[in-house]
Amino acid sequence: MVDSKTVLVPLAPGFEEIEAVTIIDVLRRAGLEVTTAGLNDTAVEGAHNIRIECDTLLSELDSNWDAIVLPGGLPGSNHLRDDDKLKSLLADQAKAGRIVAAICAAPIALEAAGVLKGRRATSYPGFGEQMPSANYVEDTVCIDGNITTSRGPGTALRFALSLVAQLASEETAGELSKGMLANS
Query: For residue 2, what pLDDT is reported?
Result: 45
In this structure, CATH architecture of domain 6-173? 3-Layer(aba) Sandwich (3.40)
Query: For residue 17, what pLDDT is reported?
Result: 98
Query: For residue 177, what pLDDT is reported?
Result: 96
For residues 173 and 183, the answer to whether their CB atoms sit within 8 Å is no
| The model's pTM | 0.96
Measured distance CA(41)–CA(173) in Å, rounded: 32
Select which of 20, 47, 104, 115 is catalytic: 104
Walking along the chain (184 residues) 10 residues at a time, the average pLDDT comes out as 80 98 98 97 98 97 93 98 97 97 98 98 97 98 98 98 97 96 84
Measured distance CA(23)–CA(68) in Å, rounded: 11
Query: For residue 4, what pLDDT is reported?
Result: 76
Query: For residue 183, what pLDDT is reported?
Result: 82
Question: Which CA distances in Å does 58 have to 9, 63, 94, 156, 162?
Answer: 10, 10, 18, 23, 25
Q: Where are the domains of the chain?
A: 6-173
Active site residue 104: yes
Q: Where are the alpha helices (DSSP H) in the chain?
A: 17-29, 76-82, 84-95, 107-112, 156-167, 170-179
Phi, psi of 15 (to 5 degrees): -70, 160
Query: For residue 40, what pLDDT is reported?
Result: 93
Phi, psi of 69 (to 5 degrees): -125, 125
Residues whose CB falls within 8 Å of the CB of residue 182, separated by 6 or more in sequence, listed in order: 157, 158, 161, 176
